Structure 1
Amino acid sequence: MFSRISTHTSTGGGSERISRLKRALDRAEAVVVGAGAGLSASAGLTYSGPRFEAHFGDFIERYHFRDMYSAGFYPYDTPEAYWAYWSRHIYWNRYDQPVGEPYRLLLELLGDKTYFVITTNVDHCFQNAGFDKARLFYTQGDYGLWQCSKPCRQRTYDNEEAVRRMLAEQKDLRIPTELIPRCPVCGRPMTMNLRCDAAFVQDEGWYAAQSRYEAFLRRYGGGRVLFLELGVGGNTPAIIKYPFWKFTNENPRAVYACVNLTEAFAPREIAGRSICIEQDIGGVLREMARL
């Protein structure tokens, strides 16, 4: 059990902490990266502001949306309207996005290191940047996958072709009725493969990635390992943050690092082996690349 009081664990200025992180990365025998939404936000994949306004101006005008997140939960009056929004959301956050600099820099910094990535992000940015798919565990789903809304099977389905057609043929913020996706097995409506309730499908690919992650931890978790947490917030701390604290506490050779724009902290039990940096992730990675 960790103390209820957490602490900003590093002393000195930001540059000193970044230098410490670079040394910890260089000395590590293995690196476990835990990535949250803050990493994609640093890469420019913001859900509000100019990017949202540029791609969803007509939805904003009609529904008065403030961001993509809340728009995804709006109770649309028809499936045609629902999929008009979601096809555009999927397209701009999964199929038409540049490779963000923070992802590219992270891959360069890892170099030939032995690494594994666990992420709650669903935007495919790691694979777009060239990370090895076999070293990735997407725990919360993927914008590129659909599942049965029931679900009748623990299966997911690629959606790129259907999404592009929905985007091309939607009019007046609706898609044609015949494009509404239905389960090929039972005929029920399809839904996103995103973890938002107990109906989330964990298919064979999900369990295979989980097994590879667990095998990596068994093999390297007791050595000189860096647990590098990037942009993880407080919504789902049990997936990345709390396990990273636990792994570091159990292994005296491990180092825990947390880089986040806000709330970069660690429990006092691992304070001596923690590096917490409250800065933009992209800026931190750029400075590390120069060292």
Structure 2
Amino acid sequence: MKDNYRSRIDKAKAALEETDVILLGGGAGLSAAAGLLYSGKRFTDHFGSFIEKYRFTDLYTSSFYPFGTQEEKWAYWAKHISLNRYETGPTNLYQDFYQLVQDKPYFVITTNVESQFEKAGFAPEKVFEIQGNYSFLQCAKGCHNKLYYNEHIVKEMIEKTVDCKIPSELVPQCPVCGGKMDPNLRSNQYFVQDENWYERDASYKDFLLDAEGKKIVLLELGVGFNTPGIIRYPFERLNYHNENAILIRLNKDHPVGMEENKDKTMAFTEDMREVVLAFMK
């Protein structure tokens, strides 16, 4: 097993050294491996009052809780956003991946929404956060395509939360239609794709066009089957149709891909940081 691991590491290192470009795809498993866990001690340490009041078990399922009032909803979401976006600095794992790819032309597409790629040093214009970002609020009905940076109001909500509720005057309202607001996360048909979203979408497509005919490493990190049509399946198709492509998949739970790509795929189920550090040796 150790010999097999060593040979996979050597093969992956060679592919990364020889490639012309690198396309990174980051999923929830990457942030989990970086320590941004939605359950366990990280959850219980920060959400004790919400757990006691609502019997929450983790940050993922609690995000779908049907709060009775906007005051309750925003008390929860302010803490959720703050913990994952503003209270957590750059993690070692994301910084390791930046060190690995920084000297090559690269682009990132990610379903993660906590800005860890940007915090780690990746150029913002080379990161496409396709599912949204914790930093912004939007009209809950998507009545217009502008987003609103939320750091100040989130901090104020947390400071003034009492019994899992914020004061009514802090409940955000859409400045255009006067309706409710939501975090800018893709959860329904009202998800707002602003001008920046379309610019990143265009940059992603341009990157793929420019990579045609070049050696490309598809570095897939912790991508499962929650939204496989965004990263996992497109990476498999790119690998299949491009003779110069190699797919390197780091995935503890879902390493197996298309049978047709087995000779062009290197899968690693080992500790993600251990693997990326081995790539850099």
Asked whether the equivalents of residues 148 and 188 of structure 1 are also in contact (C-alpha less than 8 Å), the reply is yes
Asked whether the equivalents of residues 11 and 17 of structure 1 are also in contact (C-alpha less than 8 Å), the reply is no
What residue number does 2:137 align with? 146
**Could you tell me how far 1:164 is from its partner in structure 2?**
0.7
| SS in structure 1 at match of 2:47 | helix
Task: Say whether 1:242 aligns with 2:241.
Answer: no
> What letter is aligned with 2:155?
R
Distance 2:212 2:40 in 1: 40
What does 1:69-148 correspond to in 2, within 5 Å?
Answer: 69-148=60-139
> What letter is aligned with 1:131?
F
Q: CA RMSD in A?
A: 1.4
Q: 1:11 to 1:118 in 2, by over 3 A?
A: farther
**Could you tell me how far 1:111 is from its partner in structure 2?**
2.7
What residue number does 1:3 align with? none
Distance 2:48 2:5 in 1: 39
**Could you tell me how far 1:249 is from its partner in structure 2?**
1.2
What does 1:26-105 correspond to in 2, within 5 Å?
Answer: 26-105=17-96
| SS in structure 1 at match of 2:173 | coil
| SS in structure 2 at match of 1:276 | strand
| SS in structure 2 at match of 1:13 | helix
Distance 1:221 1:109 in 2: 22
**Could you tell me how far 1:16 is from its partner in structure 2?**
2.3
**Could you tell me how far 1:116 is from its partner in structure 2?**
0.2
TM-score with structure 2 length normalisation?
0.97
What residue number does 1:212 align with? 203
Distance 2:134 2:45 in 1: 20
Gapped regions of structure 2 (runs ≥ 5): none
Distance 2:85 2:192 in 1: 19
| SS in structure 2 at match of 1:210 | helix
Moved over 3 A (4+): none
**Could you tell me how far 1:14 is from its partner in structure 2?**
2.4
Which residue among 149, 160, 163 is the counterpart of 2:154?
A: 163
Give a deviation string over 1:103-131, Cα, whole Å, max 9, x none.
Answer: 01001111310000000000110111111
> What letter is aligned with 1:73?
F
Number of equivalenced pairs? 281
Asked whether the equivalents of residues 145 and 156 of structure 1 are also in contact (C-alpha less than 8 Å), the reply is yes
Distance 1:180 1:221 in 2: 48
> What letter is aligned with 2:158?
L
Distance 1:19 1:55 in 2: 41
**Could you tell me how far 1:280 is from its partner in structure 2?**
2.4
> What letter is aligned with 2:65?
Y
Which residue among 265, 269, 274 is the counterpart of 1:283?
A: 274
What residue number does 1:200 align with? 191
**Could you tell me how far 1:72 is from its partner in structure 2?**
1.1
Distance 1:197 1:85 in 2: 19
Distance 2:47 2:10 in 1: 41
Distance 1:100 1:282 in 2: 11
Task: Say whether 1:20 aligns with 2:26.
Answer: no
Distance 1:166 1:75 in 2: 19
Name the stretch that deviates more: 55-64 or 84-93: 55-64
| SS in structure 2 at match of 1:193 | strand
Distance 1:69 1:221 in 2: 38
What residue number does 1:5 align with? none
Distance 1:190 1:213 in 2: 29
| SS in structure 1 at match of 2:84 | helix
**Could you tell me how far 1:11 is from its partner in structure 2?**
11
Asked whether the equivalents of residues 35 and 120 of structure 1 are also in contact (C-alpha less than 8 Å), the reply is yes
